[in-house]
Amino acid sequence: MIADGFSSQVIVLGDKAKNQMSRSNRGDIQLSFNQIGKAIPTFAEASAATDTILNSGVKFSTATIIYNEFKSAIAYEATPIRNYSSDALKASEGFAAYELDDDILQNYNDFLLANNIYWGLVEGHASEMSAKRTAMENATKNAGEMVDRLTMTYNRTRQAAITSELVDIITGASAL
């Protein structure tokens, strides 16, 4: 949730994230991408999204990419990755030690943004596949247990019917 008095530009990748963000921050969504994450993410997909973002005119000094970080087969956590603008990188102490051409720095920054978007897409995909696999394992286990219970019920019912018929036959034979 964005704090009162502050505004942010939100760019959303994927349908589920867009639906969720539309509930609380509809006015802040500047750009959204549909059909991302339906298949295994590729760097080309992340690069295309980066080009669209950079060509859309959205300006930022700091961009935060929030993605689902894969922790384990049953857990993932929302984790931020920070991206800084070229001007912020130029002003940082680490880059001040080097003489860099503005074009090289801009290309580096564009690649860094595309790489971080790709990283977030891949981690999110891994988390989703793990959650699906765990759900399928649980469903298979539950189905197996249900089959075992129904087989036991069927066998008991069948045995009761056989016992009842045997009692009728024995009762009829002893009556003769």
pLDDT at 147 over 80: yes
pLDDT at 90 over 90: no
pLDDT at 160 over 90: yes
Half-sphere exposure of 84 (CA within 13 A, CB side): 9
CA distance 22 to 91: 35
Tell me the pLDDT band of 161, cut-offs 50, 70 and 90. very high
pLDDT at 6: 56
Alpha helices, DSSP H only, in the chain?
15-25, 43-55, 86-91, 93-96, 102-175
Q: Give the residue-averaged pLDDT of 48-72.
A: 86
pLDDT at 16 over 90: no
pLDDT at 2 over 50: no
Average model confidence (pLDDT) across the chain: 85
Q: Give the residue-averaged pLDDT of 87-97.
A: 81
**pLDDT tens across 111-137, in order?**
999 999 999 999 888 888 888 898 999
